[in-house]
Amino acid sequence: DTGVSQDPRHKITKRGQNVTFRCDPISEHNRLYWYRQTLGQGPEFLTYFQNEAQLEKSRLLSDRFSAERPKGSFSTLEIQRTEQGDSAMYLCASSFGQGQAFFGQGTRLTVV
């Protein structure tokens, strides 16, 4: 499969725990994006990378959130001390330059 891959697809965690999600972009894509989608809403931009450099972060990305893209390949999104309000679908997308963004199937996080 040559699409954007996200792991895990589903995660249930207790409030206060840390979670980490992984995104593997399409191999030749240099840009990688993270979005968050809550129920009944459209996706909201969180952050994006060009190669390994994190170029923009939304104010939605509180200090409990951190994203990395070591070596410009896969990316991880970590949420520390999870809160119930963090429950959402986390979507990853990749593109080559400003070309079409391809989305993964998302990781659904439930904080109980």
Binding site for another protein (CB under 8 A): 4, 31, 33, 35, 40-45, 48, 55-56, 91, 93, 95, 98, 100-106, 108
- Nearest approach in angstroms of CB 27 to another protein is 18
| Closer CB to another protein, 84 or 98, in the complex | 98
Task: Extract the runs of DSSP E, i.e. beta strands, from the chain.
Answer: 5-7, 10-13, 19-24, 31-37, 44-50, 53-57, 65-68, 75-79, 88-95, 102-103, 107-111
| Closer CB to another protein, 44 or 52, in the complex | 44
- In sequence order, the β-bridge partners of residue 34 are 47, 92
| Closer CB to another protein, 22 or 108, in the complex | 108
- Nearest approach in angstroms of CB 71 to another protein is 20
| Closer CB to another protein, 75 or 104, in the complex | 104
Judged on CB neighbours under 10 Å (0-12, 13-18, 19+), 57 is: middle
